Structure formats: structure tokens, C-alpha cells
Amino acid sequence: MMTDRPEPEAIIAPLSFSTEQRAKIFAALADPTRLRIVELLAAEGELSGSQIATQLDISLALFCHHSRTLVEADLLQVRRDGQTKYNSLNQMLLHQCLNTFGQIGEQPPDVSS
């Protein structure tokens, strides 16, 4: 049966990162604490590590541990101002990654057969 759905390659082609990179992003988001960090930064914008730790009621050491994983996945951008590091969300990357599901889900599969 022919459908108007694009081939998987057509869905992924416009994105500038690989399947492995997207898997790394989703793995980073799979932890509840890291997901809370991402949600906080999405809502608040740029925050210091201490501000994030305080608002999430976690230790600064625990924030630093989780921030490394988020930085490795390119989800977290860090800017230093003096001795303070400010963290912000790489919203473009997150949007592109999540958008792959939006493109896949634009047309539900035909299950009538």
C-alpha cells in the first residue's frame, strides 16, 4: 500500500546531528534530576549552578555531576563570568531532537490492514 509518508531518511536528513547524538540526548534526559534541570532552564533561562541547586533542592556537587552529562550531550551551555559559571539550555538542539518525533507523528500509521 502506498502512503504519502516520507521515507525515514527524508525525516532525518534535515537535521545536523546523528542518531548516536540523539540517543545521547535522550539518555541524558532519562534521569529525573537532569530532566528537572532542563525543565528549570527552559522556564527560567540562564542560571548559575548554585541557583539551580537551590531551586531544585539538590547539592551543588550533585548538580555538577549531572551537568557534566548534559554538557557532554550538548544540551547545556556554560558561560563563565569571574568565578561563577552560568548555565543555559541549548534550546535549538533540544527542539531539533524532539522535532524528529513531531515529523514522524504528523500522520498516524494505517493500521486497517
Does some domain include residue 8?
Answer: no
CA distances 50 to 13, 41, 63, 64, 85, Å, are 39, 13, 8, 10, 9
Whether 30 maps to a domain, the answer reads yes
Closest among 4, 2, 25, 1 to 99, alpha carbons compared: 25
Asked whether residue 33 is assigned to any structural domain, the reply reads: yes
Which CATH number belongs to the domain containing residue 87 in this structure? 1.10.10.10
Average confidence score pLDDT of the chain:
83
pLDDT at 19: 83
Q: Which residue has the cell 548538580?
A: 63
Share above pLDDT 70 across residues of the chain, in percent, rounded to a whole number: 73
In a domain, 13, yes or no: no
Q: Which domain holds residue 74?
A: 18-101
Amino acid 95: pLDDT: 87
How many domains in the chain? 1
In a domain, residue 97? The reply is yes
Residue 25 included in any domain: yes
Q: Write out residues in the chain with pLDDT < 70, as ranges.
A: 1-17, 102-113
pLDDT confidence of residue 30: 96
